[in-house]
Structure formats: structure tokens, C-alpha cells
């Protein structure tokens, strides 16, 4: 019966990332690959979920209070005036919110611009809607927006632009200047923008998250998607949302109801508590993640990487293999899992576009640092042992490539 499977299902094949994830599980590797926290979720948020379950709030449910709080937050943080009764769809995570948004606006043959490298699920959603993903490469090593490449990517079939900022996998936060270029192009070409803002509270140094919808002329054409998952360390709860003008939000809600009916009821109740967390929760979140980011950057420097771009946001660092290491990203990650017992993600799974120099598509590796101190320390120790061993598989062939630095200290 395999031959009777749909063409769409045949296009959704397991990725090399999934295969390496299985290898990591088999050898019990320390997981710096997947972007989920392995430390406890906030106690007050867990208590709210437990209380909702105990109160038998376990059936299909829409918790309007989530929309009310989000509307207040968007006005306070971004100056956006939205109607909590009409402009939101509460979904099963940002993933469903994004998929429902795509299904709401994309018809067969419509083109959707994405910035490359990109999170892989965007393409799948677009193709399931019979749309055409069009990739606009960001320029390494700082992943800057090339205005000329971007503007030349538009055609009369362009229906939407997808923007993920802070960005997975690179950790880039799009600047105000870059956002203005995107906003002006969307208005000139009369197309939608769909934003993925799941890392909005996780930025570093002086970098600030700006919602594209807050720029002049953009709220009427922007669909914001986000979730509880990253900010509140509850990736398995699957509570997310889309925010858009009423007629668009209505279409997204209708699709969401046909797909999943409602988001998990007790976790919606907990979301209401999470979203009203005090300001010091968010300042602590940023401080804790800054320490984790700096720890992993030092760990990778100790191992021989040269850090050309320091993450400005998100929970990932995207590093290039030194040229003297005669390994592809897949080889490096496979060897790292087998020889050190540490798992990361080869960068090739995030690249899609053709460029003048496609070789760098196989030279990047993503590490997740949304991990406990114990996990990060264990990874650092395993990598130190490998670096000090006789194994040359992961070491630079030119001694000058690996800087002599102080060892990473416990976060």
C-alpha cells in the first residue's frame, strides 16, 4: 500500500538530523542537539497546571483570559492595539499556529520567502499548502540581510514573507534597519508577513526584539505566531497562538478547530498564570541564559572553534568548523557523538538556497544551550577529554587554528 501514499507524505522524509538523534540516544550522548530545556519548568507555572487538572478542567476549552493578557502585553511591549475577542487563535503550540496561518493564506503556486538558514518545519507547511518556498540567503558570518538579494526574490506570485527573530539556528536578532527593509517590501508588493517570535524574551547584551507588526503599515498584514514553550520551559505542553487582524485570525481559528479542536485545557489555564509572571521572572530568564550562552561559547573556543558570531538571542549557537578540520558537519557531529558522547545538529539541515559559495552549507554545527548546569558541565568535560586524547578525528590539522584559552568554568 506504500505506493498509494500521497505525494505530500512522500516529500516529508526523515532528515539526517533525526538519524543522528537516534544514534545519540543509542549511545546515551549528552543532548546539546534539541532545543528543549532539561531543567525544571517554573514552579508557579507547574502548580497552576496541576491545580487545573485537579479541578477537572480537562475537556475541550478556550481560555479567553490568555487573549486578554496577550493583548495587554502587545500594547505594552510593542505599541500594538489588538482586540482580544477577535484577533487571536490559541493553538497547539507555535507549530500549529504557523501551519494554520499558512493554510489560511497560501494557495497552490503562491510563493513564500524565507530567510536561509531556516527552521525546517516552515518549508513542510508551505509545501503541504501547495505553496512554493523561496529562500533568501542571509550573509555569513553575521547573517546580515542582503537587501538586493531580498528584493530580487519577489515576483508577482509572492504571497508572504516568513520572519523568525530571534532566529533559529543562528541566534541573530534582526535589526530595526533590516526590519524596515522587510516592511517596506511587504507593503510595496502587497504581501503578508508571518513572524515566529518564540524567542522574543531571550535576547542578549544590548539586542532588543522588535515585532515586525509594530512598524508603520505592518499590523494590517502581519500574522504573529509565538508560544509558551521557550520562555517558560514547557515545550511539551503545546500552547501557542497566532495574532492577526480579525478576518485573518478568524480563518486561522477555523482551521485550528478542524485540525485539533482546542489546545490542552489544563495547560491553557497554566498559560494564564505564566503570562502574568512578574518582571523579575523575565530579567532572571535573560540573565540565566546569558550565563549559559557564555559558558558554551567558552567551551567551544576551548575545543578549537573560532566564534565569528556571538548569539544575539534564542537558545542556540551556530558555529563554523575551522577550515583546517577536514570534516563535513555530518562527519563532525557523528564523530562527536561516537567519540565524546555529545550530540549537536549538523547545519546542512537548515540550509536550502543555492549560493555562490554553497560549501559553507556543510561547515556549520548548531549547539543548544537551554540545558541544566549539570548537562553543560558534563558536555564540557567530555569534550575536554576528547580534545586531550590521542584521537585526531576532531582536532585541527594546523595547531594555529585552535586558540589556547582558559577552560570554560561552570555556569
At 16, is the secondary structure helix, strand, or coil?
A: helix
- DSSP letter at 143 equals T
User: How many other CB atoms sit within 10 Å of the CB of residue 15?
Assistant: 14
Q: What is the pTM of this model?
A: 0.93
One domain for residues 31 and 50: no
User: What are the grid coordinates assigned to 241, written together?
Assistant: 497562538
**Are 91 and 32 part of one and the same domain?**
no
pLDDT averaged over 10-residue windows placed end to end, the chain, 411 residues: 86 75 88 94 98 97 97 98 98 98 98 96 95 96 97 98 98 98 98 98 97 98 98 98 98 97 97 97 98 97 91 97 86 92 94 74 95 97 86 48 50 74
- Position 238 in a domain: yes
Q: Which of 251, 277, 303 is the last residue of a domain?
A: 277
Can you give the pLDDT at residue 323?
Answer: 80
Within this chain, do residues 15 and 54 fall inside the same structural domain, yes or no?
no
User: How do strand 364-368 and strand 345-346 relate by DSSP bridges?
Assistant: antiparallel
Q: What is the DSSP annotation of 157-186?
A: TEEEEEEESS-TTT-----HHHHHHHHHHH
Show which of 277, 296, 319 is a domain's final residue: 277
Both 189 and 160 in a single domain? yes
**Domains in the chain: how many in total?**
2
Give me Rg for the CA atoms of the chain: 21
Is 258 among the domain residues?
A: yes
CATH assignment at residue 165: 3.40.640.10
In a domain, 189, yes or no: yes
Secondary structure element (H or E) that encloses residue 222, with its range: strand 222-227
User: Which residues neighbour 40 within 8 Å (Cβ) at sequence distance 6 or greater?
Assistant: 46, 233
Closest CA to 171 of 370, 355, 360: 370
3-class secondary structure, 88: strand
Is 393 inside a domain boundary?
no
Residues 304, 216 share a domain: no
Q: What is the pLDDT of residue 357?
A: 62
On whether both 269 and 300 belong to a single domain, the answer is no
Report H helices in 106-162: 121-128, 147-152
* Residue from 31, 28, 24 nearest 376 by CA: 31
* Cα–Cα separations (whole angstroms), residue 145 to 249, 269, 275: 29, 39, 32
Considering the domain boundaries, does residue 411 fall inside one? no
CA distance 142 to 140: 5
Same domain membership, residue 93 and residue 52: yes
pLDDT of residue 394: 54
Residues 328 and 375 grouped into a single domain: yes
- The strand order across the sheet containing 192-196 reads 88-91, 240-243, 222-227, 192-196, 158-164, 111-116, 132-137
The answer as to whether 410 is a domain residue is no
- CATH number reported for the structural domain that contains residue 7 in this entry: 3.90.1150.10
Q: What is the pLDDT of residue 397?
A: 40
Considering the domain architecture, whether residues 213 and 229 belong to the same structural domain is answered as yes
* Residue 392, φ and ψ in degrees, nearest 5: -105, 0
Q: Measured between alpha carbons, how far is 371 from 227 in angstroms, rounded to an integer?
A: 19
Cis ω for the linkage preceding 117 (within 30 of 0): yes
- Return the SS3 of 352: coil
| 201 and 288 part of one domain | no
Q: Give me the pLDDT at residue 404, please.
A: 38
Q: How far apart are CA 257 and CA 269, in angstroms?
A: 19
Block residue for cell numbers 558554551 = 296
- 343 with 300: CB under 8 angstroms? no
CA 298/CA 124 separation, integer angstroms: 35
**56: containing domain:** 43-277
Q: Do 32 and 371 contact (CB within 8 A), yes or no?
A: yes
Residue 253 lies in a domain: yes
112 shares its domain with 166? yes
For residues 28 and 63, membership in a common domain is answered with no
Domain contains 400: no
Answer with the one of 245, 277, 309 that is the final residue of a domain: 277
The per-residue pLDDT for 224 is 98
Amino acid at each position: 500500500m506504500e505506493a498509494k501514499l500521497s505525494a505530500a507524505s512522500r516529500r516529508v522524509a526523515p532528515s539526517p538530523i533525526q538519524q543522528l538523534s537516534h544514534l545519540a540516544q543509542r549511545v546515551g550522548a549528552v543532548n546539546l542537539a534539541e532545543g528543549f530545556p532539561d531543567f525544571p519548568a517554573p514552579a508557579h507555572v507547574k502548580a497552576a497546571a496541576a491545580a487545573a487538572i485537579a479541578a477537572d478542567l480537562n475537556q475541550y476549552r478556550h481560555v479567553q483570559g490568555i487573549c486578554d493578557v496577550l493583548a495587554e502585553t502587545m500594547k505594552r511591549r510593542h505599541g500594538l492595539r489588538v482586540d482580544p475577542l477577535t484577533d487571536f487563535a490559541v493553538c497547539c503550540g507555535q507549530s500549529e499556529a504557523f501551519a494554520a496561518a499558512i493554510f489560511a493564506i497560501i494557495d497552490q503556486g503562491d510563493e513564500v520567502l524565507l530567510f536561509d538558514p531556516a527552521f525546517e518545519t516552515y518549508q513542510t507547511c508551505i509545501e503541504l499548502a501547495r505553496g512554493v518556498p523561496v529562500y533568501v540567503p542571509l550573509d555569513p558570518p553575521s547573517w546580515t540581510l542582503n537587501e538586493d538579494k531580498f528584493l530580487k526574490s519577489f515576483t508577482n506570485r509572492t504571497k508572504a514573507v516568513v520572519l523568525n527573530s530571534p532566529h533559529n539556528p543562528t541566534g541573530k536578532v534582526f535589526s530595526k534597519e533590516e526590519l524596515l527593509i522587510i516592511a517596506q517590501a511587504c507593503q510595496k508588493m502587497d504581501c503578508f508577513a508571518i513572524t515566529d517570535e518564540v524567542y522574543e524574551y531571550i535576547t542578549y547584551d544590548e539586542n532588543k526584539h522588535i515585532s515586525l507588526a509594530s512598524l508603520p503599515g505592518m499590523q494590517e498584514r502581519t500574522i504573529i505566531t509565538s508560544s509558551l514553550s521557550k520562555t517558560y520551559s514547557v515545550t511539551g505542553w503545546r500552547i501557542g497562538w497566532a495574532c492577526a487582524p480579525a478576518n485573518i485570525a478568524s480563518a486561522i481559528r477555523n482551521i485550528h478547530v478542524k485540525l485539533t479542536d482546542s489546545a490542552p485545557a489544563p495547560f491553557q489555564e497554566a498559560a494564564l498564570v505564566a503570562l502574568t509572571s512578574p518582571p523579575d521572572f523575565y530579567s532572571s530568564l535573560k540573565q540565566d541564559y546569558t550565563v549559559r550562552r557564555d559558558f558554551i561559547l567558552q567551551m567551544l573556543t576551548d575545543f578549537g572553534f573560532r566564534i565569528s558570531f556571538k548569539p544575539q538571542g534564542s537558545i542556540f549557537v551556530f558555529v563554523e568548523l575551522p577550515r583546517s578540520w577536514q570534516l563535513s558537519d555530518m562527519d563532525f557531529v557523528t564523530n562527536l557523538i561516537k567519540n565524546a558522547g555529545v550530540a549537536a545538529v549538523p547545519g546542512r539541515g537548515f540550509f536550502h538556497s543555492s549560493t555562490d559559495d554553497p560549501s559553507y552549507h556543510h561547515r556549520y554545527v548548531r549547539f543548544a544551550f537551554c540545558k541544566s548546569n549539570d548537562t553543560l558541565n558534563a558536555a564540557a568535560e567530555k569534550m575536554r577529554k576528547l580534545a586531550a586524547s590521542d584521537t585526531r578525528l576532531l582536532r585541527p590539522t594546523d595547531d594555529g587554528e585552535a586558540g589556547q584559552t582558559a577552560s570554560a568554568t561552570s555556569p
